[in-house]
Amino acid sequence: MSMDTKKMHPTEVSLYAKSMHINFEQIYKWFTGRIYPDQDCGKTVCGIHACCYPCHSHDKPTYLYYLPGELEFLKMKLKERFPAREIEPGSGKYHCFGNAQCVYEYRPIDCRSYPYWPVVECGKLVAFIDDRKPRCPIEKVPPPFFEKVKEGWLKLLKIPLVTTWLEFEGPQPCGELVFIKDSDSQGTAET
Protein backbone atom coordinates (compact mmCIF):
# COMPACT_ATOMS: atom_id res chain seq x y z
CA MET A 1 0.00 0.00 0.00
CA SER A 2 1.41 3.38 -1.03
CA MET A 3 0.61 6.53 0.92
CA ASP A 4 0.86 10.16 -0.16
CA THR A 5 3.39 11.41 2.37
CA LYS A 6 3.10 14.94 0.94
CA LYS A 7 -0.24 15.31 2.75
CA MET A 8 0.91 13.83 6.06
CA HIS A 9 1.87 15.64 9.25
CA PRO A 10 5.60 15.15 10.12
CA THR A 11 4.64 12.88 13.04
CA GLU A 12 2.57 10.73 10.70
CA VAL A 13 5.47 10.60 8.22
CA SER A 14 7.75 9.42 11.02
CA LEU A 15 5.30 6.70 12.10
CA TYR A 16 4.84 5.70 8.47
CA ALA A 17 8.63 5.40 8.12
CA LYS A 18 8.70 3.15 11.16
CA SER A 19 6.01 0.97 9.63
CA MET A 20 7.98 0.85 6.35
CA HIS A 21 10.90 -0.72 8.23
CA ILE A 22 13.57 1.58 6.85
CA ASN A 23 16.79 -0.27 7.58
CA PHE A 24 18.97 2.38 9.21
CA GLU A 25 21.58 -0.23 10.12
CA GLN A 26 22.13 -0.80 6.38
CA ILE A 27 21.86 2.89 5.49
CA TYR A 28 24.54 3.82 8.02
CA LYS A 29 26.95 1.52 6.15
CA TRP A 30 26.53 3.76 3.10
CA PHE A 31 27.89 6.73 5.07
CA THR A 32 31.13 5.45 6.58
CA GLY A 33 33.57 8.00 5.20
CA ARG A 34 35.46 10.61 7.20
CA ILE A 35 36.63 13.98 5.96
CA TYR A 36 40.14 12.99 7.02
CA PRO A 37 40.23 9.16 6.90
CA ASP A 38 42.91 8.60 9.54
CA GLN A 39 41.82 11.15 12.11
CA ASP A 40 38.94 12.54 14.11
CA CYS A 41 38.67 16.06 12.70
CA GLY A 42 36.99 17.30 15.89
CA LYS A 43 40.07 16.35 17.87
CA THR A 44 42.82 17.13 15.36
CA VAL A 45 41.48 20.02 13.27
CA CYS A 46 39.33 22.25 15.45
CA GLY A 47 39.97 20.62 18.82
CA ILE A 48 36.42 21.23 20.06
CA HIS A 49 34.03 19.36 17.76
CA ALA A 50 32.46 22.67 16.76
CA CYS A 51 29.91 20.78 14.66
CA CYS A 52 28.58 19.16 17.86
CA TYR A 53 28.24 22.15 20.17
CA PRO A 54 25.47 24.75 19.82
CA CYS A 55 27.67 27.37 21.52
CA HIS A 56 30.07 27.29 18.55
CA SER A 57 27.40 28.00 15.96
CA HIS A 58 27.67 31.76 16.57
CA ASP A 59 24.37 33.32 15.48
CA LYS A 60 22.06 30.26 15.46
CA PRO A 61 21.71 27.08 17.49
CA THR A 62 23.06 23.88 15.97
CA TYR A 63 20.32 21.38 15.25
CA LEU A 64 20.52 17.75 14.29
CA TYR A 65 18.24 16.73 11.45
CA TYR A 66 16.73 13.26 11.51
CA LEU A 67 15.23 11.42 8.56
CA PRO A 68 11.71 10.03 8.99
CA GLY A 69 11.92 7.18 11.50
CA GLU A 70 15.60 7.79 12.30
CA LEU A 71 15.03 9.52 15.64
CA GLU A 72 12.79 6.68 16.82
CA PHE A 73 15.32 4.11 15.59
CA LEU A 74 18.17 5.76 17.51
CA LYS A 75 16.14 6.21 20.70
CA MET A 76 15.10 2.55 20.57
CA LYS A 77 18.62 1.33 19.79
CA LEU A 78 20.53 3.54 22.24
CA LYS A 79 17.96 4.00 25.02
CA GLU A 80 19.63 6.03 27.82
CA ARG A 81 22.82 6.42 25.74
CA PHE A 82 20.96 8.56 23.17
CA PRO A 83 23.08 11.76 23.18
CA ALA A 84 20.72 14.32 21.61
CA ARG A 85 18.30 16.39 23.64
CA GLU A 86 15.25 18.29 22.49
CA ILE A 87 15.94 22.02 22.72
CA GLU A 88 12.32 22.91 23.50
CA PRO A 89 9.88 20.14 24.46
CA GLY A 90 7.68 19.32 21.50
CA SER A 91 9.73 21.41 19.04
CA GLY A 92 11.31 18.45 17.25
CA LYS A 93 14.62 20.35 17.25
CA TYR A 94 17.47 18.42 18.81
CA HIS A 95 21.08 19.11 19.52
CA CYS A 96 23.77 16.88 20.88
CA PHE A 97 26.11 17.64 23.73
CA GLY A 98 29.38 17.10 21.97
CA ASN A 99 31.46 14.17 20.97
CA ALA A 100 32.07 12.95 24.52
CA GLN A 101 28.53 11.52 24.55
CA CYS A 102 28.48 10.48 20.90
CA VAL A 103 27.86 6.82 20.17
CA TYR A 104 29.91 7.02 16.99
CA GLU A 105 28.57 3.91 15.25
CA TYR A 106 25.02 5.26 15.70
CA ARG A 107 25.51 8.90 14.74
CA PRO A 108 22.68 10.15 12.49
CA ILE A 109 22.92 10.65 8.73
CA ASP A 110 23.20 14.40 9.36
CA CYS A 111 26.50 13.84 11.21
CA ARG A 112 27.71 11.20 8.76
CA SER A 113 27.29 13.50 5.76
CA TYR A 114 28.38 16.72 7.50
CA PRO A 115 28.96 19.35 6.21
CA TYR A 116 26.57 18.44 3.38
CA TRP A 117 22.76 18.36 3.40
CA PRO A 118 20.90 17.43 0.18
CA VAL A 119 18.70 19.70 -1.91
CA VAL A 120 16.03 17.69 -3.73
CA GLU A 121 13.85 19.02 -6.55
CA CYS A 122 11.42 16.96 -8.62
CA GLY A 123 12.66 13.83 -6.84
CA LYS A 124 16.30 14.36 -7.87
CA LEU A 125 19.41 15.44 -6.01
CA VAL A 126 20.36 18.82 -7.49
CA ALA A 127 22.75 20.25 -4.90
CA PHE A 128 24.08 20.06 -1.39
CA ILE A 129 24.07 22.78 1.22
CA ASP A 130 27.59 23.15 2.66
CA ASP A 131 26.98 24.05 6.30
CA ARG A 132 30.60 24.60 7.48
CA LYS A 133 30.61 28.37 7.84
CA PRO A 134 31.11 29.97 10.33
CA ARG A 135 31.81 27.21 12.87
CA CYS A 136 33.95 24.61 11.08
CA PRO A 137 37.61 25.43 10.34
CA ILE A 138 37.91 22.92 7.49
CA GLU A 139 38.58 25.06 4.43
CA LYS A 140 38.29 22.39 1.73
CA VAL A 141 36.57 19.03 1.88
CA PRO A 142 38.56 16.35 0.03
CA PRO A 143 36.77 15.19 -3.17
CA PRO A 144 36.71 11.48 -2.12
CA PHE A 145 34.67 12.39 0.98
CA PHE A 146 32.24 14.48 -1.09
CA GLU A 147 31.84 11.60 -3.56
CA LYS A 148 31.19 9.11 -0.73
CA VAL A 149 28.51 11.40 0.74
CA LYS A 150 26.92 11.96 -2.67
CA GLU A 151 26.90 8.21 -3.34
CA GLY A 152 25.20 7.56 0.02
CA TRP A 153 22.51 10.19 -0.57
CA LEU A 154 21.84 8.89 -4.09
CA LYS A 155 21.18 5.43 -2.62
CA LEU A 156 19.04 6.92 0.14
CA LEU A 157 16.97 8.90 -2.36
CA LYS A 158 15.81 5.62 -3.91
CA ILE A 159 13.51 5.37 -0.88
CA PRO A 160 10.44 7.40 -1.96
CA LEU A 161 9.53 8.38 1.60
CA VAL A 162 12.95 9.95 2.15
CA THR A 163 12.88 11.75 -1.21
CA THR A 164 9.41 13.16 -0.57
CA TRP A 165 10.27 14.23 2.97
CA LEU A 166 13.46 16.00 1.85
CA GLU A 167 11.69 17.80 -0.97
CA PHE A 168 8.57 18.91 0.88
CA GLU A 169 9.05 18.63 4.65
CA GLY A 170 12.78 18.43 5.36
CA PRO A 171 14.86 21.23 6.82
CA GLN A 172 16.79 23.67 4.68
CA PRO A 173 19.85 24.74 6.65
CA CYS A 174 21.77 27.86 5.68
CA GLY A 175 25.01 27.54 3.80
CA GLU A 176 26.74 27.64 0.44
CA LEU A 177 25.14 25.65 -2.37
CA VAL A 178 27.28 23.00 -4.05
CA PHE A 179 25.52 22.03 -7.27
CA ILE A 180 25.70 18.63 -8.89
CA LYS A 181 27.03 19.12 -12.44
CA ASP A 182 24.71 16.99 -14.53
CA SER A 183 20.95 16.66 -14.46
CA ASP A 184 20.87 12.95 -13.66
CA SER A 185 22.46 13.64 -10.25
CA GLN A 186 25.46 11.46 -10.96
CA GLY A 187 27.98 14.24 -11.59
CA THR A 188 30.68 15.87 -9.53
CA ALA A 189 30.50 19.03 -7.46
CA GLU A 190 30.65 22.56 -8.76
CA THR A 191 30.37 25.63 -6.54
Cα–chain-centroid distance for residue 11? Answer: 18
**How confident is the model at residue 47, as a pLDDT?**
59
At 158, the pLDDT band (50, 70, 90 cuts) reads: very high
Task: Please give the residue that has the higher pLDDT: either 185 or 176.
Answer: 176
pLDDT over 90 at 29, yes or no: yes
Range in 17-21, 32-36, 74-78, 106-110 with the lowest mean pLDDT: 17-21
Query: What's the pLDDT band for 52 if we cut at 50, 70, 90?
Result: low
Report which of 104, 49, 59, 114 is spatially closest to residue 81, judged by C-alpha positions: 104
| H or E, element range at 47 | none
> Whole-angstrom Cα distance, residue 191 to residue 139?
14
16, with CB counted inside 10 A (0-12, 13-18, 19+), is middle
What gap in Å lies between CA 49 and CA 136, rounded to an integer? Answer: 8
Query: What confidence category does residue 153 fall into, taking pLDDT thresholds of 50, 70 and 90?
Result: very high
pLDDT number for residue 41: 67
pLDDT in tens, 68-85: 888 889 989 988 887 777
For residue 50, what pLDDT band results from cuts at 50, 70 and 90? low
Higher pLDDT, 56 or 122: 122
d(CA 177, CA 119): 9
Query: pTM of the predicted model, to two decimals?
Result: 0.76
